[in-house]
Amino acid sequence: MNRVAVVIVNYNTSRLVVDCLHSLAAERDRGDEFDVYLVDNASTDDSVEAVRRSVQARGWGAWLEVLPLERNVGFAAGNNAALRVILSRTVGPDFVLLLNPDTVVRPGAIGELVDFLDAHPAAGLAGSRLEDPDGTPQRSAFRFPSVAGEFENGVRLGPISRLLAPFVVAPPARTEAHPADWLAGASLLVRREVFDGVGLLDEGYFLYFEEVDFCRRVRQAGWECWYVPASRVVHLVGQASGVTDTRKPARRVPEYWFAARRRYFRKHLRAIDARLADVAWAAGFALWRARRRLTRRPDTDPPLYLSDFVRFNFLGTPPAEVRP
């Protein structure tokens, strides 16, 4: 059994996931040893067939196992399907890498995370520097959401952002390794002992906020979470889910995003703080929308974002026609 198991959850991204597997195959050719578990969430494209063709053509079967599911159970439950297989084995890996299908692993990325966790026994997990194809870093080390952070996220005004800098959820990427509240789940190496003690991902999240929840539970259990920029992974943002794909016009936010956000805030904040966070974001975003109209700035926000937010969080009804 290799020290690392890589888990990828795919849904309708056949071209992306094959590119991701090619980058992992290149790492194995350079000497890294790991097994890969590809969970397919009942894709309706040719994902399973495309992967199996590549397995046969390139001899990946020795290290790649495909786990097709009968229905789309979401990101957390999809990862858990592989984790249960991995963790049930008597001799399992020391680490599990949760990896998005819309990623390309740069040379040495996995080894850097393994070396870091080997050298830092207090760290329960470590996340890669996520970047655009041209090497531009993405924000992938975060602070936990809060009432102040939600207001800053909504209002988008420089003086307020500077005033609330300690609460900004997504600060600029840094060049050195550092602890963080939570890390993007697109490339996240987790110790096996963390799963043994904390449990698996919360399957109450269909998509989004599951890594925020998981990292918070890891921190509460006494482990550290670290951002390791020496590990570089290209992340084609939003191309796996289609929700945050910056190459396309903004689409309406799906109901499962609102549900995931509400689950996180209700689970980890006091009821009064969760409600204040809703009010803070809505007020800040309303101010931003008013200022945008006055200054004639381009509208890049998702359609009906504020009304859908209010409908879901204050009126208790799902946003119309916004479904998983």
Single out the residue of 163, 140, 139 nearest to residue 151, CA to CA. 163
Same domain for 133 and 264?
A: no
* Residue 74, C-beta contacts closer than 8 angstroms, at least 6 positions apart: 41, 203, 205, 206, 207, 256
Provide the H-helix boundaries in 178-270. 192-198, 210-220, 255-268
Same domain for 52 and 88?
A: yes
Same domain for 272 and 224?
A: no
**Range in 127-141, 207-221, 234-248 with the lowest mean pLDDT:** 234-248
For residue 294, tell me if it sits in a domain.
yes
**Range in 205-214, 269-278, 313-322 with the lowest mean pLDDT:** 313-322
For residue 143, tell me if it sits in a domain.
no
Facing residues of 5 across strands? Answer: 35, 96
Distance CA 145, CA 156 (A): 15
Same domain for 201 and 260?
A: no
Same domain for 85 and 53?
A: yes
What's the domain range around 207? 4-138+173-235
Supply the mean pLDDT for the chain.
94
Same domain for 110 and 216?
A: yes
Q: Is residue 75 over pLDDT 60? A: yes
For residue 149, tell me if it sits in a domain.
no
Same domain for 125 and 200?
A: yes
For residue 164, tell me if it sits in a domain.
no
Q: Is residue 219 over pLDDT 70? A: yes
Whole-structure pTM value: 0.94
Q: pLDDT band at residue 299, thresholds of 50, 70 and 90?
A: very high
Task: Give mean pLDDT, residues 150-173.
Answer: 97
Evaluate whether 285 touches 155 at the Cβ level (below 8 Å).
yes
Residue 208 belongs to domain with CATH number: 3.90.550.10
For residue 21, tell me if it sits in a domain.
yes
Same domain for 230 and 265?
A: no
Beta-carbon neighbour count of residue 274 at 10 Å?
Answer: 18
Same domain for 19 and 61?
A: yes
For residue 151, tell me if it sits in a domain.
no
Same domain for 85 and 184?
A: yes
As for how many domains the chain has, the answer is 2
Same domain for 17 and 103?
A: yes
Same domain for 191 and 305?
A: no
